Amino acid sequence: MQTTALKTSKGFDSLNLIDPLCRAVNDEDYSIPTPIQMQAVPPLLEGRDLLGCAQTGTGKTAAFALPILQRLIENYQPAGHKGVRSLILTPTRELALQISESFEVYGRYLNLKQTVIYGGVRQEKQVKALKKGVDILVATPGRLLDLYNQKYLDLNKVEVFVLDEADRMLDMGFLPDVKKINSFISKNCQTMLFSATMPMEIQRLTKIFLNDPVKVEVAPPSTTVDKIDQRVLFVDRENKGALLNTMLQDEAIERALIFARTRHGANRIVRNLSKSKIKADAIHGNKSQAARLEALNKFKTGKVRVLVATDIASRGIDVDGITHVINYELPNEPESYVHRIGRTARAGAAGMALSLCDLGELGYLKKIERATKIPVEMMEDHIYHSETIASKRGRSSSFKSRTSQKKRFYGPRTSSRKNNRSPSNRIRRQRGRPSRSRKA
């Protein structure tokens, strides 16, 4: 293991990070910085603004967290009563918690104060933490604005401002709140904006928010993560449940994230799976915050092998070791498809995306293939295969199945993944903490 340690310190040393940060990434067994970390850390350490166009799972959190931590410790000054020194805005509660946990992990050898605030829970604890002042505040826009209007925090002294997943903020209708928050922050502060895609509205936002930014792009917008093995299974709508059950009998599917279009649909899938004794949980907006976190935690720790999610709820899911993303229903937007399948094959590992496509969804499949410029290979070796749908889709040779010779039907091409290595789980294991869901 000495080689890993040497490689790690060399890789991150080249970024001019201070020793406590190198030690923290070393503890995480990160051998080399990811491309976005290589490109973003040096200009951020120089204090530049940054526009980051990055796919999910690229290591983007460390790319901004490490330079922020370094800046906060090198120019240390107490945050003061209700003061906030760095603010990270992110669209969902789950994402806010994960970013906060990453700060905890990367900053474990620094003595900086941080807290996380989000809606859906009582505000008292959050207010108490804010009163003392914090070096790092991770927040969702609604609750932040709410507490700001109640005068529980002071944004005058913010030195670094991060807007994460800006395109999601747009989708979820948060842009007016975000603009308002930005107007409370000093124009001199260092600002970073990250977005997986760059629609016009986000491009306009960058002009208001950023001052001569460095542009870092680790993959062009709407590109499928190329490590993902994508397949489509043609099946009549009424057979989807049965097909899913048979698929999940395959042990190659170690940890699966299943996407449903609606909340009711997600619940129905969980109920059907439980009839076949397949343990599954659902995560969607109708569930309480505590129930969502509990489901996520059970999935992360491997107590539940299958998690069923809707698109919005899936935003914050950063779980390593998802071997399969299953689209029970295809999304009508190619961008959602790209986001969904990006939940597997994270941090350089391989993964598989399986889409169940009925006749009515053929148009969505075409749109996806047109946008990603990758034909999705058909998998026909299952008893619910619909020849009618397959022939409607067209029998171009590039779309034909090559899976029939495969022994492990649903296994990805490679399986070099570490088990459950997210910073959050690691820190929890080390500290022997109870699951977060019980605290929420």
Distance in Å, CB of 9 to ligand AMP, minimum: 13
In the block, residue with structure tokens 């016009």 = 200
Distance in Å, CB of 62 to ligand AMP, minimum: 5
Distance in Å, CB of 384 to ligand AMP, minimum: 34
Under 8 Å CB-to-CB from 167, ≥6 apart: which residues?
195, 196, 197, 198, 199, 202
By DSSP bridging, strand 324-327 and strand 351-357 are parallel
Distance in Å, CB of 190 to ligand AMP, minimum: 19
CA distances to 113, 252, 256 from 182, in Å: 22, 47, 38
Distance in Å, CB of 318 to ligand AMP, minimum: 5
Query: What six digits make up the tokens of 12?
Result: 């991150």
Residue-by-residue DSSP string for 180-236: HHHHHS-TTSEEEEEESS--HHHHHHHHHH-SSPEEEESS-TTPPPTTEEEEEEEB-
Q: Which is nearer to ligand AMP, 229 or 318 (CB)?
A: 318
* Residues of the shown chain interacting with ligand AMP in the complex, contacts defined by CB under 6 A: 30, 33-34, 37, 57-62, 318, 320, 346-347, 422-423
CA distance 301 to 94: 16
Q: Which is nearer to ligand AMP, 38 or 121 (CB)?
A: 38
Q: Which is nearer to ligand AMP, 19 or 381 (CB)?
A: 19
As a whole number of angstroms, the longest Cα–Cα distance in the chain is: 68
CA distance 303 to 289: 19
Distance in Å, CB of 420 to ligand AMP, minimum: 10
Q: Which is nearer to ligand AMP, 60 or 255 (CB)?
A: 60
Q: Which is nearer to ligand AMP, 351 or 423 (CB)?
A: 423
Distance in Å, CB of 288 to ligand AMP, minimum: 25
Q: Which is nearer to ligand AMP, 153 or 341 (CB)?
A: 341
Q: Which is nearer to ligand AMP, 33 or 107 (CB)?
A: 33
Are the beta carbons of 349 and 416 closer than 8 angstroms? Answer: yes
